[in-house]
Chains A and B, each alone.
Chain A
Amino acid sequence: MLYRENGQFKTSYRADQQLLPIAQDRWLMLGLLAFAYLGLPVLASEFVIRALIVPCLILAIAAIGLNILVGYCGQISLGAAAFMGAGAYAAYNLAVRLPGLNFLVVLVLAGLAAAAVGIAFGVPSLRIKGLYLAVATLAAQFLLDWLFSHVKWLTHDSPSGSVSTATIELFGLPLQSPLRKYFLVLTVVCVLALVAKNLVRSHTGRAWMAIRDMDLAAEVIGIRPLHAKLSAFAVSSFYAGIAGALWGFVHLGSWEPAAFDIGLSFNLLFMVIIGGMGSILGSFFGAAFIVLLPLMLNQAPRWLGIPISTAAQSNLESMIFGSLIVFFLIAEPQGLASLWAKGRQKLRIWPFPH
């Protein structure tokens, strides 16, 4: 009753092909943006913004990138964190060696550097398929880990590969407070999400999905696997690179190579799977889930008033995290985005059951 699209007639192709054809969706999106830009800074404390919202948004960018590779193009990647690291270290090098450069330019160049690395490690995908491809991305993960900690040039000759960054300055305005960093990240997220959404609706996105579903048949009808797969790797790594640069500069401030280890790769993969493969919205859901869950698990004993030692607590967290992953996959193997879609469907036909 509430969610019907009755009476919303489109009179041009342009109107029919817009991202949000239903008016209620458009209002919802406007409301969400208004809340994000105007409401949240007022309502949420600095701690919440700094520790919850900003990491969630940054990882959502990386999750969108990984979703493009895994969900839309069907190429397994277990090394997403390495591409984030590549972007972070590239941004660091650019910031240190070319100090006058605008930070947004640094971000884009870092993304491009990560994209180049992504293409290099994506070349095996032309020959290897499925789970076997996971090894190529794992090779990327561990090799890049090693490079960052052993090649002095990359880390500007720092002893153990750990680097630290100065305050970001954008157009002369120093981004000191969490709120300013939040606005920067939010804007970047909105722009990148819009680009991603349009990209997957375009010819490129359809080529990716064709490769994912039946790559032999796609090749037969004229889609070039080289272009499709490598562009998927490139775009995915571009997003991961920007996310990595933001992660290092905005969220961490200073980091060592272990900040982009395989645990982060697994977390990103969890975000994609739990959020929903092949869905931009799902990347946001997944990022929120994976960022909030450990924090809640961490705080739960305190809320419940149960005293446990820290070691036991971290082990219990591991157990509960693992169980929840399994539970989610059983309840909705296609992710939270699919749950959302079902909910919308139910809302459309409410009050009828089906």
Chain B
Amino acid sequence: MLAAPRLPPLRAHWPLLTLATVLAAGLAAPLATGAAAPGFYLEVLLGGLMSGVLYSLVALGLVLIYKSSGVYNFAQGAMVLLAALATARLSEVMPLPAAIGAALLMMVALAWLVERLVLRPLINQSPMAVFMATLGILYFIEGFGQLVLGNDIYKVDLGLPKDPVIVAQRWFEGGVLISPEDLVAAGIAAALVAVLALFFQRTATGCALRAVADDQQAGQAIGIPLGRIWFIVWSVAGFVALVAGLVWGSKLGVQFSLAEVALKALPVVILGGLTSVPGAIVGGLIIGVGEKMAEVFLSPVLASGLGVAGGGVENWFAYVLALLFLLVRPEGLFGERNIERV
């Protein structure tokens, strides 16, 4: 019998610890140098956490699909926006719950179409080919959505309390603004993560999904019904996209040209690990906070220090941050280690 493995000492993780220390120092710097008032700092931090939650919700759908078919769904962001816009437009002509139900039906129909027309013919083809196919789906959804639903910005009224609440007035001057909406969104995200994580680890279907992600043809050979499974997965991903879209629509408003912002979900899942459901949340939070902090505090440093024009740091910081994490953890923070035999 094998002895229980001994954990490596903490110093074996020095690259990750170094990176974490550097980032923590960067995070604490504005506060320490007094460049920002504590209250303002906390608000930026909370704002970052909130946008991180939004990213995580988009990323959850991505992880779901990747974990069950090994395919990175480039169209996930567009699916989020499609669901949100559909709900927003439909709620103009019917009550909100009916609009949400209709949008869900639409996402299920989309899942069926994608499985039938795209995934089934591409079984056992190279991952690059399927990846590009999802890019094709992205273009299609963008065109279709804008054609049918219009290109203006829409807000979704979920009936959540919107007035920000001022808390912690005793500790910070003027208090800190927290929006209850943000808390509800965070709660929804946490619940979804828990449900999905349990689903993959504990249920037989979750096990079959992970198997298919490993080897599609072997899954077929053993009798796993690929088509049916993928339909279920893409429908659930559509549901997750709907939830993400509703939260996003309620908080920020949705517009199709924001699909590029959804591209940011890629560094989120990559940082967290492509196959990890909790990783999607952690990655989202890290990216959200990092981005906001960099935009607010790093940008002026770059402008004055290096003579570059200010602004725009948000565009690239997420990717650079994900890259740094990947250098110390090539499979993402919680991703599966690549098992290879030669």
**Residues of A close to B142: CB separation below 8 A:** 315, 318, 322
B260 is contacted by which of A134, A150, A262 (Cβ under 8 Å)? A262
Considering only residues 310-349 of chain A, those with a C-beta below 8 Å from chain B are 311-312, 314-326, 329-330, 333
B133 is contacted by which of A132, A149, A312, A326 (Cβ under 8 Å)? A326
Considering only residues 143-175 of chain A, those with a C-beta below 8 Å from chain B are 143, 145-146, 149-152
Q: Is the CB of A318 within 8 A of B140?
A: yes
What separation, in Å, do the CA atoms of A311 and B152 have in the docked complex? 13
A196 smallest CB distance to B (angstroms)? 20
B122, B125, B312, B319 pick with most chain A CB within 10 angstroms: B319
Chain A residue with Cβ nearest B267: A135
* Known A-B contacts A146-B316, A217-B342, A323-B140; A135 and B133 likewise in contact (beta carbons under 8 Å): no
Give the interface segment out of A17-25, A109-117, A122-130, A197-205.
A122-130
Q: Is the CB of A315 within 8 A of B139?
A: no
What separation, in Å, do the CA atoms of A270 and B136 have in the docked complex? 9
- Within 8 Å of chain A (Cβ to Cβ): is B244? no
B238 smallest CB distance to A (angstroms)? 18
Q: Is the CB of B313 within 8 A of A319?
A: no
What separation, in Å, do the CA atoms of A152 and B263 have in the docked complex? 28
**Residues of B close to A136: CB separation below 8 A:** 323, 326
Give the interface segment out of B34-42, B143-151, B158-166.
B143-151
- Within 8 Å of chain A (Cβ to Cβ): is B117? yes
Q: Is the CB of B147 within 8 A of A316?
A: yes
**Residues of B close to A330: CB separation below 8 A:** 118, 121-122, 133
**Residues of A close to B203: CB separation below 8 A:** none
Q: Is the CB of B122 within 8 A of A329?
A: yes
- Within 8 Å of chain B (Cβ to Cβ): is A266? yes
Chain B 14-30 near chain A by CB (<8 Å), digits 1 or 0: 00000000000000000
Give the contact-size bracket for chain B.
Answer: 35 or more
**Residues of A close to B125: CB separation below 8 A:** 329, 333
Give the interface segment out of B49-57, B93-101, B327-335.
B327-335
- Within 8 Å of chain A (Cβ to Cβ): is B132? yes
Chain A residue with Cβ nearest B306: A151
* Known A-B contacts A142-B316, A152-B307, A329-B122; A322 and B332 likewise in contact (beta carbons under 8 Å): no
B127, B311, B323, B326 pick with most chain A CB within 10 angstroms: B323
Considering only residues 240-271 of chain A, those with a C-beta below 8 Å from chain B are 262, 266, 269-270
Chain A residue with Cβ nearest B331: A132
What separation, in Å, do the CA atoms of A220 and B137 have in the docked complex? 40
- Within 8 Å of chain A (Cβ to Cβ): is B320? yes
Q: Is the CB of B312 within 8 A of A322?
A: no
Considering only residues 1-21 of chain B, those with a C-beta below 8 Å from chain A are none
* Known A-B contacts A145-B316, A330-B122; A322 and B139 likewise in contact (beta carbons under 8 Å): yes
Chain A residue with Cβ nearest B143: A318
Q: Is the CB of A76 within 8 A of B128?
A: yes
Interface residues in A, total, Cβ within 8 A: 52
Q: Is the CB of A145 within 8 A of B315?
A: yes
**Residues of B close to A29: CB separation below 8 A:** none
What separation, in Å, do the CA atoms of A322 and B340 have in the docked complex? 34
B84 smallest CB distance to A (angstroms)? 18
A157 smallest CB distance to B (angstroms)? 11
Chain A residue with Cβ nearest B303: A150
* Known A-B contacts A127-B330, A316-B143; A150 and B129 likewise in contact (beta carbons under 8 Å): no
Q: Is the CB of A128 within 8 A of B327?
A: yes
B129 is contacted by which of A149, A315, A333 (Cβ under 8 Å)? A333
* Known A-B contacts A262-B260, A325-B135; A129 and B338 likewise in contact (beta carbons under 8 Å): yes
What separation, in Å, do the CA atoms of A136 and B309 have in the docked complex? 24
- Within 8 Å of chain A (Cβ to Cβ): is B322? yes
What separation, in Å, do the CA atoms of A153 and B262 have in the docked complex? 32
A138 is contacted by which of B141, B267, B274, B308 (Cβ under 8 Å)? B267
Query: Chain B's interface: helix, strand, loop or mixed, by majority?
Result: helix
Q: Is the CB of A333 within 8 A of B126?
A: yes
Q: Is the CB of A269 within 8 A of B132?
A: yes
What separation, in Å, do the CA atoms of A317 and B151 have in the docked complex? 16
B137 is contacted by which of A76, A141, A317, A326 (Cβ under 8 Å)? A326
A285 smallest CB distance to B (angstroms)? 15
Q: Is the CB of A142 within 8 A of B136?
A: no
What separation, in Å, do the CA atoms of A129 and B336 have in the docked complex? 13
B326 is contacted by which of A135, A216, A217, A324 (Cβ under 8 Å)? A135
Q: Is the CB of B118 within 8 A of A326?
A: yes
- Within 8 Å of chain A (Cβ to Cβ): is B80? no
Chain A residue with Cβ nearest B325: A135
Q: Is the CB of A132 within 8 A of B330?
A: yes
A261 smallest CB distance to B (angstroms)? 9
- Within 8 Å of chain B (Cβ to Cβ): is A139? yes
* Known A-B contacts A124-B323, A326-B136; A315 and B260 likewise in contact (beta carbons under 8 Å): no
- Within 8 Å of chain A (Cβ to Cβ): is B103? no
**Residues of A close to B330: CB separation below 8 A:** 127-129, 132
- Within 8 Å of chain A (Cβ to Cβ): is B248? no
A273 is contacted by which of B132, B137, B138, B315 (Cβ under 8 Å)? B132
What separation, in Å, do the CA atoms of A306 and B180 have in the docked complex? 51
B133, B137, B151 pick with most chain A CB within 10 angstroms: B133
B264 smallest CB distance to A (angstroms)? 10
What separation, in Å, do the CA atoms of A273 and B133 have in the docked complex? 10
What separation, in Å, do the CA atoms of A326 and B332 have in the docked complex? 29
Q: Is the CB of A135 within 8 A of B132?
A: no
A-B contact sample (19 more), CB < 8 A, given A315-B142, A322-B140, A330-B121: A76-B128, A128-B326, A131-B72, A132-B326, A132-B335, A134-B266, A135-B266, A145-B316, A266-B135, A269-B135, A315-B147, A320-B143, A322-B136, A322-B142, A323-B140, A324-B136, A325-B135, A329-B129, A330-B133
Q: List 11 A-B contacts (CB under 8 A).
A: A70-B128, A128-B330, A129-B338, A135-B326, A143-B316, A151-B308, A262-B263, A274-B132, A316-B147, A325-B132, A329-B136
List the interface of chain B (C-beta within 8 A of A).
72, 117-118, 121-122, 125-133, 135-144, 146-147, 151, 260, 263, 266-267, 270, 274, 307-313, 315-316, 319-320, 322-323, 326-327, 330-332, 335, 338, 340, 342
